[in-house]
Amino acid sequence: MSLKRTIPVASALLLAATLLSPPAAPAAPAALAAPDIPLANVQAHLNSLQTIATNNGGNRAHGRPGYRASLDYIKAKLDAVGYTTSVQQFTHGGATGYNLTADWPGGDANNTLMLGGHLDSVGAGPGINDNGTGSAGILEVALTVARENLKPERHLRFGWWGAEELGLVGSNYYVAQLPSAERSRIKAYLNFDMIGSPNPGYFVYSASGQPTGSAQLQQTLQAAFNGVVATELTSVGGRSDHAAFARAGIPVGGLFTGAESVKTAAQAAKWGGSSGVAFDRCYHRACDNIGNLNTTALDRMSDAIAHAVWALAGVGTPGGQKFENTDDLPVPDQAAVESTITVSGVAGNAPSALVVGVDITHTYRGDLVVDLVAPDGTAFRLKDSGSDSGDNLVTTYTVDASGEAANGAWKLRVRDAGPQDVGTINGWYLQF
């Protein structure tokens, strides 16, 4: 995030905006609920960005090799799951800079929802909170869109901007280079810059003074925290990458956990943490590393990004049905277990993109072999042992099960293939 002060907006503005809002439109079809974004996956991306910085002079700044390596890491993840990616070059300060955009296939291109955040750090350090957190959160939401095989009515585009720390250079260049017809197709832009501050606040960009349509974005982001944590509105002004989109008349919104400003006593009472201390004491410093995070805030903010995508993209209730088993089932060491879901009332065969969601607590997921077993006994391998490391397995898979009858007893077979580790199937589902 570039240097400028954050100015909290009085909560009275929100009340006024609510009272002056026009009558609600007729209810739309129920939206498909956003999935949980696994914190472990976001942290894995941040660990990769830290490694990239460590291996490239300690930073990921514009014009430095760590920046390009960061971009290549994100691009490879997106290319692997079916995004159409594009790298845009620009020049600043005698060095080549890069923006990365990724488009999810489908949706109305004349009604594009875009999410973005800057990928560069300052030269002083690795920039893990600023803005590895926003970059990693957006990336994992984009990967979740692919895992869920989302088919939104609106077109989805994600962006990672270069040289933000030098004056919002990359995002300014991107918007300036868009032909007017292309610019008009972007109907909303959401910005995520610093979402894991170690002494966090929960700030939502205020729609006050922003283009018409920004209020919906503000309210959608606020709603993501209902029943979770209180939020405050903040006027980020021209300090981050939403600014170029706002100048172009595009509705904007975003989330922020705070930078160099000091947390007040009232905010500490509301959110926890330390009053009289900056939200991020390592802002623009070498200590903005992998230890400079609040993982609770990072988890909540990443889930809120997903909430916004699912709420705003016109997902709607899917045509098929969702079947779920939420019963806990222990996975003993070096043993196999099966959890069953009985499907009924679905006509014909299963789809060619049957979504399988799994939530497994485990002390080392690299030991796990996971199969989906169809009613006729056909097994679809979802995961082999040794394919990854770390704990827990919370993700989705897509299976071509079009040769299988939909109705019947489907099983999730989980085998622990290594010694010393145990776990629990917390639940799993099938989305037809």
Contact 421, 368 (CB under 8 A): no
Does 396 reside within a domain? yes
Residue 14 lies in a domain: no
Residue 57: inside a domain: yes
416 and 284 within one domain: no
Task: Say how many C-beta atoms besides its own lie within 10 A of residue 106's C-beta.
Answer: 13
The two counts, helices (H) then strands (E), for the chain are 10, 18
Q: Higher-confidence residue: 21 or 187?
A: 187
Residue 264 pLDDT > 70: yes
Residue 252 bridge partners (DSSP): 189
Better-scored residue on pLDDT, 387 or 123:
123
Q: What is the pLDDT of residues 194-251, one digit of tens each?
A: 999 999 999 999 999 999 999 999 999 999 999 999 999 999 889 999 999 999 999 9
Q: Quick check: 108 pLDDT over 60?
A: yes
Dihedrals phi, psi of 350, to nearest 5 degrees: -65, 160
Quick check: 171 pLDDT over 80?
yes
The amino acid occupying position 101 is T
Distances (CA, A) of 5 to 116, 238, 268, 301, 412: 21, 10, 19, 21, 51
31 pLDDT more than 80 = no
d(CA 254, CA 221): 8
Residue 32, pLDDT > 90, answer no
Q: Is the pLDDT of residue 8 over 50?
A: no
The answer to whether position 8 is within a domain reads: no
- Domain match, 90 and 222 both: yes
3-state secondary structure (DSSP) of residue 98? strand
The length of the chain, given as a count of residues: 432
Q: How far apart are CA 131 and CA 288, in angstroms?
A: 10
- DSSP letter for 130, please: I
Q: Is the dihedral of CA 324, 326, 329, 331 positive or negative?
A: positive
Half-sphere exposure of 81 (CA within 13 A, CB side): 22
Q: What is the amino acid identity at position 49?
A: L
300 domain residue, yes or no: yes
**What domain range is 230 assigned to?**
39-313
Contact 286, 122 (CB under 8 A): no
Task: Kindly tell me the burial class for residue 379, based on how many C-beta atoms sit within 10 Å of its own C-beta (0-12, 13-18, 19 or more).
Answer: exposed
Whole-Å CA distances, 149 to 85, 99, 146, 380: 17, 25, 5, 18
Each residue of 117-156: pLDDT tens digit? 999 999 999 999 999 999 999 999 999 999 988 999 999 9
CATH of the domain at 129: 3.40.630.10
Single out the catalytic residue among 140, 164, 165, 232.
164
Q: How far is CA 87 from CA 90, 324, 359, 413, in A?
A: 10, 40, 35, 41
Residue 31 lies inside a defined structural domain of this protein: no
Question: Does residue 404 carry a catalytic annotation?
Answer: no
* 339 in the same domain as 292: no
Is 50 exceeded by the pLDDT of residue 27? no
> Do residue 295 and residue 332 come from a single domain?
no
- The answer to whether residue 201 is domain-embedded is yes
Q: Which amino acid is at 313?
A: A
Q: What is the distance between the alpha carbons of residues 42 and 53, in angstroms, rounded to a whole number?
A: 17
- Do 187 and 50 belong to one domain? yes
Q: What angle do CA 396, 289, 197 make, to 5 degrees?
A: 70
pLDDT of residue 317: 46
- Which one-letter DSSP state was computed for residue 178? S
Structure tokens at 194: 């610093």
How does residue 355 score in pLDDT terms, banded at 50, 70 and 90? Answer: confident
What pLDDT sits at residue 387? 65
Q: What is the pLDDT of residue 273?
A: 98
65-79, 83-97, 171-185, 322-336, range with the lowest pLDDT:
322-336
Question: What pLDDT is recorded for position 365?
Answer: 86
Q: Is 83 exposed, middle or buried (0-12, 13-18, 19+ CB in 10 A)?
A: buried
Whether the link from the prior residue into 407 is cis, omega within 30° of 0, is no
Asked whether the predicted pLDDT for residue 20 surpasses 60, the reply is no
Count of CB atoms situated within 10 Å of the CB of 99? 25
User: 301 and 417: one domain?
Assistant: no
26: in domain: no
For the chain, give the mean pLDDT: 90
> How many whole angstroms separate alpha carbon 159 and alpha carbon 115?
6
- The pLDDT of residue 375 is above 90: yes
| Structure confidence at residue 237 (pLDDT) | 87
pLDDT tens, position by position, 277-287: 999 999 999 99
Read off the pLDDT band of 157 (50, 70, 90).
Answer: very high
Query: Is residue 224 domain-shared with residue 78, that is, in the same domain?
Result: yes
Q: Does residue 351 surpass a pLDDT of 80? A: yes
- CATH number of the domain that residue 352 is part of: 2.60.120.260
Same domain, 173 and 73: yes
Q: Is it the case that residue 16 has pLDDT exceeding 50?
A: no
DSSP-assigned letter for residue 407: S
Give Cβ neighbours of residue 391 (< 8 Å, ≥ 6 apart).
Answer: 40, 361, 362, 363, 364, 365
Over 207-233, what HEC string results? Answer: CCCCCCCHHHHHHHHHHCCCCCCCCEE
Under a CB-based contact definition with an 8 Å cutoff, are residues 128 and 46 in contact?
Answer: yes
Identify the domain boundary among 290, 313, 336.
313
Instruction: Characterise 119 by phi-psi region: left (phi > 0), alpha (psi -120 to 50), beta (else).
Output: alpha
The total domain count for the chain is 2
* Whole-Å CA distances, 299 to 56, 242, 330: 28, 22, 26
Q: Are residues 266 and 404 in the same domain?
A: no
